[in-house]
Structure 1
Amino acid sequence: MTFTTDFSQVQEHAEFKEQPYEMIVFDVKEEPNKNGKKRIVIDFVVRNDVKQEKQNAHLWDEQYPLTDTGKYHNGILMGKAKALGIPEGKQYESFEAFLADFKGKTAKITVKLEEFNGKKNPKVRFVNPSDLPDCHHTWKEKAPVANTPNLEPDDLPF
């Protein structure tokens, strides 16, 4: 059997630019990095219900605890929660429940490009309230399901 390459359906993907994007939170969790240091990771997705570049592209934001206290910078974390529309004074049973409340919330994310080893990498610079909070984003992938011990092959992204 022969096989022939066919690039007719290949789409070129533009790089992130230093500008604001309307995004939605796909997932958020507290997990260690490859060196075992804990962090919060927010998986933002560029909304596809707003005319803008990079629709459906993911951008991950990390927040590490302060070295001297081992706690997350409350001002930064609460700033993100406020921008995502979490109400002032809302109570949660756990920190995990607080983070889970971020999922599906929208924000206007300003991207900056940081150079590392000669490569420019997009990073979250500012998280502000969305200019378009009425969201009609259509997910291209299934939203993650928390604490699902019995995964089926169809649940996997590969």
Structure 2
Amino acid sequence: MGFKIDHSQGDGFEQIKPGEYEVKPINYTLDKAKTGSNMVIVDYEIRSDVDQPCQGQKIMYDNFVVSDNSMWRFHQASKAAGFPDGKEFESFRDWCEEFMNKPIRILTVLEKQTNGREYAKVKSFLPSNAGNTSVEDVKTPSDDKVPF
């Protein structure tokens, strides 16, 4: 199966600027940090169902290092996602699974990388102001409730 080139679809995306964005975590990877500590890497999508710049763009590679000095990020992100205080998880994978697709708001800054380019980096997490308005989150009635 082929495809047809459409130059109008190749225009660049607006660079993600420092600021607040309504996002949903869409992907995670469990890995090791350079220090040898366990690490969770989370990717976010800027929500298209909320009127804001950069809709649909991704903020990639947000590192959650599992260490005494970095656990605040897990706690802050969990609070933003609406996890109850005192909730326990069996593993970081379980935390990730529950964190995925939760509406949250993030504060970003630009960080210069070794390649000289600047990328959005997550500095803090806040509860969503927009709530959960996605179509995929709407409950579907069971078949026995449908009259046809």
Structure 2 counterpart SS, 1:40: strand
CA–CA distance in structure 2, aligned partners of residues 134 and 24 of structure 1? 10
Could you tell me which residue of structure 2 aligns to residue 64 of structure 1? 65
Report deviation, 1:98. 1.8
Conservation of the 8 A alpha-carbon contact between 2:19 and 2:108: yes
| Cα distance, 1:5–1:111 mapped onto 2, change above 3 Å | same
Q: Which moved more, 1:91-100 or 1:106-115?
A: 91-100
Report deviation, 1:32. 3.1
| Letter of the structure 2 residue corresponding to residue 13 of structure 1 | F
| Letter of the structure 1 residue corresponding to residue 59 of structure 2 | L
Q: As a proportion of its length, which structure holds more helix? A: 2
Report deviation, 1:6. 4.5
CA–CA distance in structure 2, aligned partners of residues 79 and 40 of structure 1? 15
Could you tell me which residue of structure 1 aligns to residue 49 of structure 2? 49
Could you tell me which residue of structure 2 aligns to residue 80 of structure 1? 77
Root-mean-square deviation (CA, aligned residues, Å) is: 2.5
Conservation of the 8 A alpha-carbon contact between 1:84 and 1:102: yes
Structure 1 stretches of 4+ with a deviation exceeding 4 A read: 33-37
Could you tell me which residue of structure 2 aligns to residue 102 of structure 1? 99
CA–CA distance in structure 2, aligned partners of residues 44 and 5 of structure 1? 28
| Letter of the structure 2 residue corresponding to residue 39 of structure 1 | M
CA–CA distance in structure 2, aligned partners of residues 62 and 132 of structure 1? 25
| Cα distance, 1:89–1:25 mapped onto 2, change above 3 Å | same
| Letter of the structure 1 residue corresponding to residue 91 of structure 2 | S
CA–CA distance in structure 2, aligned partners of residues 33 and 95 of structure 1? 15
Could you tell me which residue of structure 2 aligns to residue 114 of structure 1? 111
Report deviation, 1:91. 2.8
Report deviation, 1:25. 1.1
Query: TM-score normalized by structure 2?
Result: 0.75
Structure 1: runs of 5 or more not aligned: 139-158
Query: TM-score normalized by structure 1?
Result: 0.70
| Cα distance, 1:6–1:44 mapped onto 2, change above 3 Å | closer
Count of matched residue pairs: 131
Structure 2: runs of 5 or more not aligned: 137-148
| Letter of the structure 1 residue corresponding to residue 109 of structure 2 | K
